[in-house]
Structure 1
Amino acid sequence: MNRLVRTSMFYMIFGLVSGLFYREFTKFNNFTGKTQLSVLHTHTLILGMFFFLFVLLLEKNFKISQQKNYRKFYLFYNIGLGITILMMLIRGSLTVLDYGALPALAGIAGVGHIIITIGLFFFFFTLLGAVSSDSK
């Protein structure tokens, strides 16, 4: 359970720092348009911090970490979210700096989303197994 608290806290810190970065970076560069940096803060807090706080509650009640797919869920979800957040940071920063769109970034972000989706499938398999074994 400590691992889940630390994971959630990491995403909380990163989410708050990304919000500060967005505000200061756009102000420093006199940027007033739209950029992915504006939603990086909320994506990180919701998909990272709040999601893992929710997983912590499920662990407390159902011991989901004892299920066979739990490690796969944890690994895939964090890797996918990390890639997605990194691509948002890079793409948003390049937008503020007025660089052209790099198509490869969209492709890499898409891979991040696919990996998150795989992680979510493992999450629901884990949850289903934990709830099924708890009801016996």
Structure 2
Amino acid sequence: MTKIFTAAFAYMIAGVLSGLFYREFTKANDFPSGDFTQLGLVHTHLLTLGFIVLLIVLALDKAFDLSGTRMFTWFFATYNAGVIITSATMVWHGSLTVLGQESNAMISGIAGLGHISLTVGLVLFFLLLRKRVLAASAARQSAPEAAGLSR
């Protein structure tokens, strides 16, 4: 649980700093305030996918004892890699936009790998969560029978 909390805290800090970077970088480069750049999205992506999602995972870990399993380790590594890769490519692409340079297919491909990693991580998480929820449900149903309290 400590790893989840630490990662959520790190994403909160990174999310806030990315918002600061967006504001200062665009201002320093005289980027028009109404024009689109992916730098403006990094802030919300880090706060939502990193901070908020991991706080939810922390609460679910407390309720269903998810961490400590091999599937959780795979989820945690894959999901965090996806958040980091996706966010980094957004910063890269957004910075190029602010500097008036063109992005390329390589950046899009790397961003795609980040999104795939996020998806795989979420699927792993839901498979693990489903397993634990079903086990908890079965344990609750068998508890009254084991105590001789069946209906």
Q: Which has the larger radius of gyration?
A: 2
Q: Which runs of 5+ in 1 are unaligned?
A: none
Match of 2:99 in 1: 97
Q: CA deviation at 1:65?
A: 1.3
TM-score, normalising length: structure 2 = 0.87
- Give the 3-state SS of the residue equivalent to 1:99 in structure 2: coil
Q: CA deviation at 1:133?
A: 1.5
Higher-RCO chain (CA-CA 8 Å, sequence separation at least 6): 1
Q: Which runs of 5+ in 2 are unaligned?
A: 140-151
Instruction: State the aligned residue count.
Output: 136
Match of 1:54 in 2: 56
Moved over 3 A (4+): none
Q: CA deviation at 1:131?
A: 0.7
Match of 2:123 among 115, 121, 124: 121
Match of 2:136 in 1: 134
Matches of 1:13 and 1:131, distance apart in 2: 32
Match of 2:36 in 1: 34
Residue 6 in structure 1 maps to residue 32 in structure 2? no
Once superposed, what is the RMSD of the aligned Cα atoms? 0.9
| Aligned residues with identical type, % of pairs | 45
Aligned residue type for 1:6: T
Matches of 1:90 and 1:17, distance apart in 2: 15
Q: CA deviation at 1:81?
A: 1.0
Matches of 1:25 and 1:65, distance apart in 2: 39
TM-score, normalising length: structure 1 = 0.97
